[in-house]
Structure 1
Amino acid sequence: MSTPLLRLVVLYGGASAEHDVSRVTAAHVLAAADSDKYVLVPVGIDKSGVWHRNEAAAAALAAGETLPNRLDVEGPEVDPLSVIRGTDSASPASRGQSREITVVLPLLHGPHGEDGTVQGMLELLKTPYVGCGVLSSALCMDKAMAKEVAARAGIPQCAWITFRDGVDDARTVVDQAVEELGLPVFVKPANMGSSVGVSRATTPDELDKAINLALHYDEVVVIEEAVTGREIEVGVLGNTAPDTTLPGEIKPGSDFYDYEDKYVTGAAELMIPAPLSDAAIAEVRELAADAYVALRCAGMARVDFFYEEDGRGWLLNEINTIPGFTPASMYPKMWEASGIAYPDLIDRLVTLALEVHRRRSSFSTEH
């Protein structure tokens, strides 16, 4: 019997404000994946949620051609179930070729991809996929709920309050934030990433406007105290016994590490490894693993901290379950500095996905 093909379906784009970031991530992941190991299937999801099989990108990969830095969402519309199951016309199985094992790599930043929705669909289809499961994806995407769970686990964090539109009174929340957190504060949509919708407010009026901006992206808003500290990130890889990277440090080019800083100007300074003492490095790596396990992560995540050297020490900022893989992204750079090259990182993620799938498939469904 012939050896099964490992078919890697790469999902990108998505109905999210982070659509364009995802397209950049996908281009570089596909370029780095070993085409001798995988049948690469790029599938773009447009902003209306329609799936497209990117035949042009697939053909370029097969021919060894260079992909653009940002993949377009193009190609024939495809049914999600058929492209995942490998029954669409472009699948080797549909053409009578050798057996396949499909693994899905979701590179869908933000809602409708990083929040457990796609993961839930893949669970129903009994298909292995890279990254966190339904619960941890949804939990880490929702910054408000993630903070609640991390607090119960004893993970140190900055002070915050949560505002939910239609439930809480906006004027009362502004007054509460000023009284409890002081000014300035940072205001974030609970379910968004890449610093989309994030504002720094220095007055009550600015805080009110920042809440309204965040409400364009989500009904839940997180208001956090402003922390004067270093921004340190740690990459985590693994399932039940995760490995961690050497930490990296970000020195923002503006008031904070915003969308422009990350993806447009590139003004931020990235230092890998971060200039920290051996004791501080060991402590933050342990905290990153603790947070990863407490929020039931699997596969991969990037854990972000603030470091108050002369104050409270390490403070968890957030956990990103689908970290960026662009050339400017910290996650692959930190793993490279820790001894795992980009293509090998993709291989490790696929192996971890198959490991989780085998374990979950072994559970009994009998009463």
Structure 2
Amino acid sequence: MKYKKIAVVMGGPSSEAEISRKTAEAVINALQSKNYEVNAIELNPQTIVDDVKKSQCDIVFNAVHGKYGEDGVLQAVMQMINMPCTGSDVLASALTMNKAASKRIFLSAGISTPKTMFFKKIDDEKFDIKQQIMDGFDLPVVVKSVDQGSSIGVFTAKTEQELAEGINEAFKYSQEIIVEEFIKGRELTVAVYGNKEKRPMSIIEIVAENGVYDYHNKYTKGCSHHIIPAPLSEKLTREIQKLSVEACEITNCTGVARVDLMLSEDDIPYVLEINTVPGMTETSLVPDVARHDGIEFADLCEMMLEMVEK
């Protein structure tokens, strides 16, 4: 046992705080079943350093989704007090949390990703954002705020009116948005684990009851189905797993990360984004695929601790 006393940090001011607490609850129960001493800490930005120190923990298990947990802030604070923390480091977390930054990295590295346009809120004073999108894309398109997770701030626009509404809504969540071409096809995800040597787990195909894998369908039991392994040819399976590992290598993700992709109708895979703090609830993808690959949930949580270097 590399670490004995664990502080599971959760919640905070993020729009994903509720899901974060569900992840933390599952992780705490799992680690306690492995005889770890576990403390739960609600993320309060003003007191987090004192709270972690008071817990006298050996390591922080980062269960914070979204703001502060996935953007590198918690990792930076823990680094300053020499406290080990699960997951990717500051830079990798910041890059992958910001969809605009990670998209630019993918494009520059030749990682297959949907065609994208980038806009800042101040651009609306200089030109007609909606018209630029209409000039550059055929509808439908996908409008995304750059720094949210769990499908929050993501809108599919099939008409000009929906596009205008999607732009306005996405800007409510962040000062920058991206607009992607709509890839019609199959929704896939690949969990990648490891530090220097990264390995993919089996590919999951996600099928939502109403065809949209949104916040509700992600976290409501029975509203989406995970097909493991995704029914793909051996060649295509290898190609998608290789692409997922390459995406994690170019962004330097460590620990366990989840790569979300679309597979077009002509079997071209496209990386959408990387999640460095993937959900660990009973309906979450990573625990599901790990179980299929022979890794029970408690062992997965322990793996995530063991991958953190002292």
TM over 0.5: yes
Q: Deviations over 1:103-146 (max 9, x none)?
A: 10111111122101111101111111100111010100000110
Match of 1:259 in 2: 215
Q: Deviations over 1:134-183 (max 9, x none)?
A: 10101000001101001111110111111111245485221121121211
Higher relative contact order (CA 8 A, sep 6+): 2
The answer to whether residue 141 in structure 2 is matched with residue 181 in structure 1 is no
- Counterpart code for 1:174: K
- Counterpart code for 1:83: D
- Counterpart code for 1:14: G
Q: Work out whether residues 163 and 170 of structure 1, in 8 Å CA contact, stay in contact via their aligned partners in 2.
A: no
How high is the TM-score relative to the length of structure 2? 0.94
* d(CA) in 2 for partners of 1:181, 1:259: 26
- Counterpart code for 2:4: L
The answer to whether residue 302 in structure 2 is matched with residue 347 in structure 1 is yes
Which runs of structure 2 are paired with 1:274-313 in the superposition (5 Å)?
Answer: 274-310=230-266, 313=268
- After TM superposition, the structure 1 stretch with the greater mean CA deviation from structure 2, 168-177 or 148-157, is 168-177
Query: Bigger radius of gyration, 1 or 2?
Result: 1
**Deviation at residue 293 of structure 1 after TM alignment:** 0.5
Using a 3 Å threshold, how does the CA distance of structure 1 residues 40 and 169 change in structure 2: closer, same or farther?
same
- Counterpart code for 2:39: V
* d(CA) in 2 for partners of 1:80, 1:115: 16
Which runs of structure 2 are paired with 1:224-263 in the superposition (5 Å)?
Answer: 224-263=180-219
* d(CA) in 1 for partners of 2:79, 2:141: 39
Which of 72, 82, 86 aligns to 2:50? It is 82
Match of 1:325 in 2: 280
**Deviation at residue 256 of structure 1 after TM alignment:** 2.2
- Counterpart code for 2:51: V
- Counterpart code for 2:76: G
Which of 16, 26, 29 aligns to 2:27? It is 29
* d(CA) in 2 for partners of 1:337, 1:150: 29
Using a 3 Å threshold, how does the CA distance of structure 1 residues 177 and 43 change in structure 2: closer, same or farther?
same
Q: Work out whether residues 119 and 129 of structure 2, in 8 Å CA contact, stay in contact via their aligned partners in 1.
A: yes
* d(CA) in 2 for partners of 1:118, 1:15: 13
Aligned residues: 310
* d(CA) in 2 for partners of 1:217, 1:265: 26
**Deviation at residue 257 of structure 1 after TM alignment:** 0.8
- After TM superposition, the structure 1 stretch with the greater mean CA deviation from structure 2, 153-162 or 32-41, is 32-41
| Gapped regions of structure 1 (runs ≥ 5) | 52-78, 94-100, 359-367
Which runs of structure 2 are paired with 1:163-174 in the superposition (5 Å)?
Answer: 163-169=119-125, 172-174=128-130
Q: Deviations over 1:21-79 (max 9, x none)?
A: 1111111111111455421010113xxx467xxxxxxxxxxxxxxxxxxxxxxxxxxx3
Q: Deviations over 1:222-270 (max 9, x none)?
A: 1111111111110011111112101000012234211111123642221
Q: Work out whether residues 8 and 105 of structure 1, in 8 Å CA contact, stay in contact via their aligned partners in 2.
A: yes
Match of 1:6 in 2: 4
- Counterpart code for 2:209: G
Which of 63, 69, 78 aligns to 1:107? It is 63
- Counterpart code for 1:292: C
Q: Work out whether residues 11 and 20 of structure 2, in 8 Å CA contact, stay in contact via their aligned partners in 1.
A: yes
- Counterpart code for 1:80: I
Using a 3 Å threshold, how does the CA distance of structure 1 residues 4 and 318 change in structure 2: closer, same or farther?
closer
Which of 286, 290, 295 aligns to 1:335? It is 290
Three-state SS of the structure 2 residue aligned to 1:245 is: strand
| Gapped regions of structure 2 (runs ≥ 5) | none
How high is the TM-score relative to the length of structure 1? 0.80
Q: Work out whether residues 153 and 169 of structure 2, in 8 Å CA contact, stay in contact via their aligned partners in 1.
A: yes
Q: Work out whether residues 158 and 227 of structure 1, in 8 Å CA contact, stay in contact via their aligned partners in 2.
A: yes
Q: Work out whether residues 86 and 255 of structure 2, in 8 Å CA contact, stay in contact via their aligned partners in 1.
A: yes
* d(CA) in 2 for partners of 1:279, 1:26: 37
Using a 3 Å threshold, how does the CA distance of structure 1 residues 216 and 170 change in structure 2: closer, same or farther?
farther
What RMSD in Å do the two structures reach over aligned CA positions?
Answer: 1.9
- After TM superposition, the structure 1 stretch with the greater mean CA deviation from structure 2, 8-17 or 196-205, is 196-205
* d(CA) in 1 for partners of 2:101, 2:137: 19
Q: Deviations over 1:194-226 (max 9, x none)?
A: 011211112222211111111121111111111
Match of 2:118 in 1: 162
- Counterpart code for 2:234: D
- After TM superposition, the structure 1 stretch with the greater mean CA deviation from structure 2, 335-344 or 133-142, is 335-344
